[in-house]
Structure 1
Amino acid sequence: MDPLPLLQELIRCPSVTPADAGAMAVLERALAPLGFTCTRLRFGEIENLFARRGTAGPHLCFAGHTDVVPPGDLAGWTADPFGAEVRDGTVYGRGAVDMKGGIAAWIAAIASLPPDLPGSLSLLITGDEEGPATDGTVRVLEWMDANGQVPDCCIVGEPTSKAVLGDTIKIGRRGSMNVSITLHGVQGHSAYPQRADNPIHRLVRVLHTLTATPLDEGSEWFEATTLQVTSFDVNNPATNVIPPVARARLNIRFNDLHSSASLAARIRAVLEAEGARFELEVSCSGESFLTEPGPFVAALQSATRAAAGVEPALDTGGGTSDARFIARYCPVAELGAVGSTMHKADEATPVDELRALSRLYAAVIQALLRPVAT
């Protein structure tokens, strides 16, 4: 099976998150003839799909998403973002890389293999990866757990490759948390600071304490934790008034030496030491996770090496993905296309690379359905 026509059909579904735009129906039509039982799962306004073929172990799942980010300024595109035009051997369109291309390549890989493979295969496809990620993979995993469908291992088809196909496999991700600080002072005239309490000065001291010293130098599999101040606001239109409140927002990408709770406790301690009234709000979109190298990762590396002809590096960099949710249930790794154009204008993937990704996925499926791989 050639993955190109399926990818084109998916691109032509303008499934800008949270819209489905017919994408799940396209996948059902592709999977049903391959022997998959498809279950549509709608949570809130999000369409999701779980499809499985077989009941025996090992159970290998592929996770992906059909929702895409908006195309942005159309002036930056030389092709229709939802036209799936093929030009000079490259297919253009939103989702070509992130990650409708990966889904099409995986399904084409299954179609190229004998139907009597050992074990069982499933797909967890969500329409909520680029959005809040509350009614997508998380909810489907809960449903899978309640219905005895938890896999032995999982591949997420995010575009992990950096320069050439197969050069990078992600076996973990840093955690990500957002922090909002509101620090109170006493408003007053800037000519009489002794009659006021400047919250800006206090918040600057707090932020200096938090940023002056690195939180760590990295760990065996993770780069160093980063804390970035992303906003500082006082909403003060006057030049001669000390404002009553100062606010800041932080984003922290943290490795396995920390948790969101430990980092929140550190920030709270710094604020308490400053001695001013404050409010602290913390939102964590995912803790760090790591799939320890072992039989699963080794089999994935071996299959990638054989099919792609490169030595895949194990990596934990970048932002977050839905793998952070899957890691709570089974070993998970991410492997996919070269991601150089994802989220950009003229997002595109070479057709030859798309077909090579399908061949790579076929090798991965065969390797991971051997019981030793689980």
Structure 2
Amino acid sequence: MTQPLDPVACAQELIRCESVTPADGGALDLLHDMLARLGFECTRLPFQDAGTDPVDNLYAERQGPAPNVCFAGHTDVVPAGDPEAWSVPPFAGALVDGQLIGRGAVDMKGAIAAWVAAVSRIPMQAGTLSLLITGDEEGPSVNGTRKVLRWLADRGIELGCCVVGEPTSGTRLGDTVKIGRRGSLNATIAVYGTQGHTAYPQHADNPLHRLAAALNALAHDPIDDGSEHFEPTRLQVTSVDVGNPATNVIPAYVTANLNVRFNDLWDSFAIERWIQDRLDRHCPRNSLAVRATGESFLSAPGPLSDALVGACEEVLGAKPELGTGGGTSDARFIKDACPVAELGLRNATAHQVDERTSVDDLYRLTDVYEAALKRLLETG
């Protein structure tokens, strides 16, 4: 067995790769080398759709007895913004007072490093282990996980279960294991009226007044009360735009944008009908364009979530909640292939200036992942 890897050193090396979507920055080369030394067969999977940036991905597998326990993650990160706003260079992987600071420290190069370090402690004969790492999670998610899963299916490679290393923890490490995610839908509304002079409103039809009534209904009509594992569906108005600089002109039309985060009582088509009904009620002339970026899903509690919960209790001394909150993740694609659950570092500084994780949390997450792997491989 090879010498176990240090998760902090691994995370530092990964952070030093400037892998802002869709750039790889050498991150997958680095992972390829680490995993090859641990006995993994690594396959690079570049994909590109017409009109999109090319994206590189990695599937690594170390064969053993079934099932195939997979870890899914992404090496791409969001831009660092103004580097002068950071206390240290954002891609230096600096250690300051027990904190690892850098873009991607928690979302999610730290979790990748912790999983690789945990795997380095697992004997090769213990079971089949794999990693599905994409460079297209923070971007449009077109040339990443979905296409890797299709590539696996085309070759008859089945995943037994999958852990996604998104930063799920809130106030303390391991307080939440996510077993599902809300769906997300963006909507653009256009309401049409009749332009006119504000002094003669009887000759015009103000679309802003009609839209105001519709938005009031959309924002305040209860959608649902939540379900067993999900909070209530939430709708937020994100913009209203009329483009009218004149103070004495009633505009001809107005647009508004909405975002809806919906639970497992709905799909995007039902949410679209719910919006359209309230729009039609107040705005006779309207159009509605929607784009769903993910459907809600639940990966029912079972052996995978039990293993993660048990590992957290064993290592951290506290039982995590099974949650479904937050934004979307690539788990929305993986759930069609196998049971999936998410567990990672604390999310408080994700995408922020001075994104950071404590060194202690990195070591403890590695221990949690190791304990979870042993449980999954023993019960497989």
Q: TM class, shorter-chain normalised? A: over 0.9
Please name the residue that 2:51 is paired with: none
Contact 1:260 1:287 in 2 (8 A): yes
Please name the residue that 1:272 is paired with: 280
Query: Which range moved further: 100-109 or 339-348?
Result: 339-348
Give the 3-state SS of the residue equivalent to 1:370 in structure 2: helix
| 1:92 and 2:101 are equivalent in the alignment | yes
Give, in whole Å, the separation in 2 of the partners of 1:275 and 1:202.
6
Please name the residue that 2:374 is paired with: 366
**Deviant stretches of 4+, over 4 Å:** none
Root mean square deviation of aligned Cα: 1.3
1:40-60 per-residue CA deviation (whole Å, 9 max, x = no partner) reads 111121111111111641111
| Aligned residues with identical type, % of pairs | 55
Query: Which range moved further: 145-154 or 22-31?
Result: 145-154
| 1:161 and 2:169 are equivalent in the alignment | yes
| 1:54 and 2:66 are equivalent in the alignment | no
Contact 2:73 2:112 in 1 (8 A): yes
Match of 1:282 among 284, 290, 307: 290
Give, in whole Å, the separation in 2 of the partners of 1:205 and 1:90.
50
Give, in whole Å, the separation in 2 of the partners of 1:152 and 1:11.
30
Match of 1:173 among 177, 181, 201: 181
Equivalent residues in 2 for 1:146-225, closer than 5 Å = 146-225=154-233
Give the 3-state SS of the residue equivalent to 1:180 in structure 2: strand
| 1:309 and 2:317 are equivalent in the alignment | yes
Please name the residue that 2:90 is paired with: 81
- Alignment-mate amino acid for residue 320 of structure 2: P
Give, in whole Å, the separation in 2 of the partners of 1:153 and 1:106.
15
Shift of the 163–274 alpha-carbon distance from structure 1 to 2, 3 Å rule, reads: closer
- Alignment-mate amino acid for residue 238 of structure 1: A
Give, in whole Å, the separation in 2 of the partners of 1:38 and 1:295.
27
Give the 3-state SS of the residue equivalent to 1:47 in structure 2: coil
Match of 1:37 among 18, 35, 41: 41
1:220-276 per-residue CA deviation (whole Å, 9 max, x = no partner) reads 111111001101111101111111111010000011111110010122222333352
Please name the residue that 2:111 is paired with: 102
Q: Alignment length, in residue pairs?
A: 371
Give, in whole Å, the separation in 2 of the partners of 1:80 and 1:209.
47
| 1:6 and 2:17 are equivalent in the alignment | no
| 1:293 and 2:297 are equivalent in the alignment | no
Give the 3-state SS of the residue equivalent to 1:99 in structure 2: helix
Please name the residue that 2:259 is paired with: 251
TM-score by length of 1: 0.96
Contact 2:312 2:368 in 1 (8 A): yes
Equivalent residues in 2 for 1:123-138, closer than 5 Å = 123-138=131-146
Structure 2: runs of 5 or more not aligned: 49-53
Aligned-pair distance for 1:67? 0.6
Give, in whole Å, the separation in 1 of the partners of 2:42 and 2:290.
38
TM-score by length of 2: 0.95
Contact 1:58 1:370 in 2 (8 A): no
Please name the residue that 1:27 is paired with: 31
Give the 3-state SS of the residue equivalent to 1:337 in structure 2: coil
Query: Which range moved further: 265-274 or 123-132?
Result: 265-274
Aligned-pair distance for 1:76? 2.4
Give the 3-state SS of the residue equivalent to 1:163 in structure 2: coil
Give the 3-state SS of the residue equivalent to 2:124 in structure 1: coil
Give, in whole Å, the separation in 1 of the partners of 2:81 and 2:75.
18
Shift of the 283–345 alpha-carbon distance from structure 1 to 2, 3 Å rule, reads: same
